[in-house]
A = this chain, B = another copy of it.
Amino acid sequence: MDQRALHAFFAPRTVAVIGASATPGKIGHSVMANMREAGYKGRLYPVNPKGGDIDCIAVLRNVSELPGGIDLAVIAIPRDKVLPVLEELAPKGLKAAIVITAGFREVGREGFELEQKMAALAEAHGIALLGPNSLGMMNTAHGINASFSATQPLTGDMAFLSQSGALCVSILDWARGENIGFSKFISLGNKAVLNETHMLRHLGDDSSSRVILGYIENVENGEEFMRTARHVCRTKPVILLKAGSTAAGAKAASSHTGAIAGLDKAYETAFSQCGIVRARDVESLFCLAEAFANLPLPKGPNVAIVTNSGGPGILAADACEKTRLHMARLSPETIQRLQGLLPSYASVYNPVDIIGDANAERFRKALEIVLDDPMVHAVLLLLTPTAMVEIEATAAAAVHLAKHSDKPIVSCLMGRTHVSDGKRILRQAGLPCYAFPEPAMRSIEAMYTYALWKQKPVSVYESPSRDIAVAERVISDAMARGQGEIVEFQGREVLDAYNLPTPKTVLARSSDEAVNAAQGMDGPVALKIASPQISHKTDVQGVALNLKDDAEVRQAFWEITTRTQRLRPDAYIAGCLVQEMAPQDSQEVIVGFKRDEQFGPLLMFGLGGIHVEILKDVSFHLNPLSRDDAFGMIRSIRSYMLLKGVRGTPCVNLNALTDVLLALSALANDFPQVYEAEFNPVLLNNDRALVADMRMTLRA
């Protein structure tokens, strides 16, 4: 999208309102009224076949009467008239459009096709088109409210974008009640042309927006979205509420605005890789925004609480421990200074309880002392409206301290009526203020998580050495034969091509060959059915483990092959793989990937056995993958300690494991036709990582 078109969209010098109306209740009336109320300074052209005038502006009867090169057309006319209007305006140099009219993709096939045509037209002429089915757009810095919202937004420094018009309505109403203002407010509608990625890119450069907030149900182009978000998040925080995060939600989403919600795991992974802060509900979206808008980020996880009340102090400490933050351990010097300041029955440890009779001065001094402690990274001022407390003066002290500190001070004034003036003082100074300690702590946590992300060094990507041509041949051959899968006995060539170590394995076509092969191996062997049609070998009991002598191998070969013939008469049986057993001390892990529709290859890692299937103890990463990322994946499972070694077992070779993950990542990148792949199990010990079984799913 041309940035000039987007500039014309957000700061148009000329606006045509197609479907403008003088009749209250009509959408075209609301748009005109909103533009006037917002104080629009540019040229406004109402268009309506009925003519007349609105607010002393003559109404044009036809779009043909409009001058060329209109910056923005706001369109609120019956559906079937939208495309003709755009067709007329496009050649005349229209730069941007907001299609408020609904009835497109969201109502069925015919609407979908109309929307496609409209999108094609806009793209051909470089028109920045918002909607259709949009509530509109507001830009308070430029006095624009090109929407039919019943509520005018206050001016502020948060940008908000939403895929749901209804949510826009609710949030405008709620924010007005909370005195929260916006820089820009965008209802994305059906996203025929302009989508969240365009908006992110523009808002990233928009000096009037300090924080970007949004509600999305899906993203249009996952990889571009990630690139853009990663870039924007370096400059300013992006806080998103993603709906459809559960199966039921996603089902509901897929019938809404016609969008198909992606797998939530992929979104979660994408957000965390790009530095996007994910809000868990509407309320926390704004709780977080208040903290991010004006505070410095904490440089570490340690929080100190300064309070005039014991009970709330405990609740805040509880809330702290439920996050990834820590209760700061105050230094001896800090404790000594606090002892000098406070009455003897105060608590000089964290939470610092300065007692119910604390006045503003005691609050100020205690805050100052804990802010001075180098091991304190963030401070929660927690006040209950006791009889003695000086609420407004304490708030003013906090404002003063915040101005001179590089540590975030978050306030929680517990209550509502008595604390409202104090709350106003804090908010006016841009300091967040909460009614309860829990959201305050969660906000500090989110800032800390974002700070950690920003501190991460830039990723360095390796390219594992591999023979792509060999793998290409195996995969092409399989696809040429119409195979939907590549299983172990064919896939071993691919593993070799990616330099992945595998246990010694021989394909035996007869029991004699199997016995011979086993004799050439150390220790007991395993036999596995070798058939391109059978990927779940255990379903046909196609695996025998721990075979110790010739007789056992011969017997197993015979049992496995005849049983498979009986159970799966359709399957071609090449024989059995004879494989060296893993040493007893091996730890089994599973690595794999699945290609996400939106975001591309989603890599997965987990421990074998029950860990993946039953306990769902797995970690994810979207391509590309650096070695640091791979270590991050390994470290972030709950059972990581099992790999580090517990009760005397040694640590497995984590470097060898990252090699396997990097090779898998490269494989996913090299072959888009591989839809899914799984190496299961990968056998680890303190020496190496062996890929003992694998399968891949192909898709043309």
A residues engaging B (CB < 8 A)?
25, 27, 30, 103, 106-108, 148, 150-151, 162-167, 169-174, 176-178, 215, 217, 241, 243-249, 251-253, 255-257, 280-283, 308-315, 317-322, 327, 344-345, 347, 349, 351, 353, 356, 384-387, 414-420, 435-438, 538, 610, 613-615, 617, 638-639, 641-642, 646-647
Contact = CB atoms under 8 A, between A and B. Distances in A.
Nearest to A318: B249
Contacts of A164: 309-312, 314
Contact of A387 (B148, B174, B617): B148
Q: Work out how many copies of this chain go into the complex.
A: 2
B311 A217 contact: yes
A166 B312 contact: yes
Contacts of A165: 309, 311, 356
Given A150-B418, A151-B418, A164-B311, 9 more contacts: A27-B387, A166-B386, A169-B415, A174-B416, A217-B314, A246-B321, A252-B310, A281-B315, A614-B638
B322 A356 contact: no
24 contacts: A150-B387, A163-B311, A164-B309, A170-B309, A170-B312, A170-B385, A172-B415, A173-B385, A174-B415, A178-B416, A217-B314, A241-B315, A243-B314, A244-B314, A244-B318, A247-B321, A248-B318, A249-B314, A252-B317, A255-B310, A256-B347, A282-B436, A614-B639, A614-B641
Contacts of A249: 314-315, 317-318, 321
B309 A167 contact: yes
Given A167-B384, A387-B30, A417 B108 contact: no
Nearest to A413: B170
B384 A416 contact: no
Contacts of A283: 435-436, 438
Which residue among A167, A178, A311 has the maximum number of chain B CB atoms within 10 Å of its CB?
A311
Contacts of A617: 615
A483 to B, nearest CB: 26
A439 to B, nearest CB: 8
Nearest to A173: B415
A417 B166 contact: no
Contacts of A256: 310-311, 313-314, 347, 353
Contacts of A320: 246, 248
A176 B415 CA distance: 9
Contacts of A311: 162-167, 215, 217, 243, 256
A244 B317 CA distance: 8
B315 A243 contact: yes
Contacts of A217: 311, 314
A645 to B, nearest CB: 12
Contacts of A166: 308-312, 356, 384, 386, 414
B174 A435 contact: yes
